[in-house]
Amino acid sequence: MRKYAIIGVGHVGATIAYTLVCKGIADELILIDTNAAKARAEQLDLQDAQARLDSRTIIKINDYHELDDTDILFVTSGNIHALDHASGNRWAEFEYTKQIVQDIAPKVKATKFNGVVIDTMNPCDAITHYFQRATGLSRQQVFGTGTFLDTARMQKVVAEAFNCDPKNISGYVYGEHGESQFSAWSTVQVNGIPITSLVDKYDLDLDALEAAARHGGWAVHSGKGYTSFAIATCAVKLSEAVFANARLACPVSAYSETFGTYVGQPAIIGKDGVESVTTLALTADEQAKFRNSADTIIEKFHAFDDVLSDQSVKKRQFASLKSDGC
């Protein structure tokens, strides 16, 4: 039995659920959402589709105890409207997603869940770290989609420049799933040829290609108000690598012992989650960008930690004043 669960059935969670059911990937699927009517509606809609599919998925809703024997848990909750006026800043969601983790982590921790967690929440690197710390699950078990999606966007824009299939573009985007990410051009190949050797011949502007990849998500968000298809596809692909013990080499948000934070980097994904992190020979400039991106995650993580802690103290003080009749 391949048992999946999704916490948060908004745009991304619902798309993951639809993909799992239509592709016959999940034998059993648990949908959890604070909006019980939404969870029930998604369950009914997916059940209505079953008579026209070649597979069958058992779908249950809003029962954390079902996580006891769940193999893969997707955490996809968030507040997409926090990004409406964020001007490309995924950190605008952190105040909300951190509160979500504070709510769901104890519930997950209270179960016997011992599977793999794939996080898509934003800011992906920081909130994945926060979720792992809050649940006590191992760093191997918990990872985020991170720059797996950004790498796909890089593959798309490079493929367009060369009029080839994106799958023929290899290489990695490193760092934050955010503004400090960067394309490690020393790792990128086009049809097996290093892209750095093609710059002059094809008059490439690597900075422009990198910017197009970095801002790809915001181009989608500005048109439909959210992103869903690409991130859901990335999440499902990673889950399939876990179930198949594929030892898939791909970039994800994994914990870095070097930097002390979750950050987008190449890793090997297998049955236990992050089997290992891959260290490639980056250029000196790329190494500096990688460290800068990791430092950015750490700095903002602690800055938000301080702000939220201060807000929490003020709320407790205010509640105390109210209880004293002031």
Residue 177 annotated to the active site: yes
Catalytic hit among 177, 215, 221, 302: 177
The answer for 165, left when phi > 0, alpha when psi is -120 to 50, beta otherwise, is beta
User: What does the block give as tokens for 171?
Assistant: 């290489």
Give the model's pLDDT for residue 85.
Answer: 57
d(CA 314, CA 218): 35
- The whole-number pLDDT of residue 302 equals 87
For residues 241, 274, 279 and 300, what is the CA-based torsion angle, rounded to 10 degrees? 120
- What string of pLDDT tens digits covers the 326 residues of the chain? 999 999 999 999 999 999 999 999 999 999 999 999 999 999 999 999 999 999 999 999 999 999 999 999 999 998 876 666 555 577 888 989 999 999 999 999 999 999 999 999 999 999 999 999 999 999 999 999 999 999 999 999 999 999 999 999 999 999 999 999 999 999 999 999 999 999 999 999 999 999 999 999 989 988 999 999 999 999 999 999 999 999 999 999 999 999 999 999 999 999 999 999 999 999 999 999 999 999 999 999 888 665 545 544 444 333 333 223 32
| Secondary structure, 3-state, 87-137 | CCCHHHHHHHHHHHHHHHHHHHHCCCCCCEEEECCCCHHHHHHHHHHHHCC
Classify residue 203 by burial, with Cβ atoms within 10 Å: 0-12, 13-18, 19+.
exposed
Which pLDDT score is estimated for 84? Answer: 63
Q: Specify the amino acid at residue 61.
A: I
Interior/surface letters 289-324, b for 16+ CB within 10 angstroms, e for the rest: bbeebbebbbebbeebeeeeeeeeeeeeeeeeeeee
pLDDT at 257: 97
Backbone phi, psi, residue 142, to 5°: -115, 120
pTM of the model: 0.92
Tell me the C-alpha to C-alpha distance, in Å, between residue 24 and each of 21, 45, 49: 5, 16, 12
The predicted pLDDT at position 88 comes to 58
The Cα–Cα gap between 33 and 75 comes to 11
Reduce the DSSP state of residue 317 to 3 states and report it.
helix
In the chain the first and final C-alpha atoms are separated, in Å, by: 58
**What does DSSP say about strands 58-61 and 116-119: parallel, antiparallel, or unpaired?**
unpaired
Whether the Cβ atoms of residue 147 and residue 174 lie closer than 8 Å to each other: yes
Packing angle of the helix pair 229-243, 11-22 (nearest 10 deg): 50
> Residue 130: which of 156, 165, 97, 92 has the closest Cα?
97
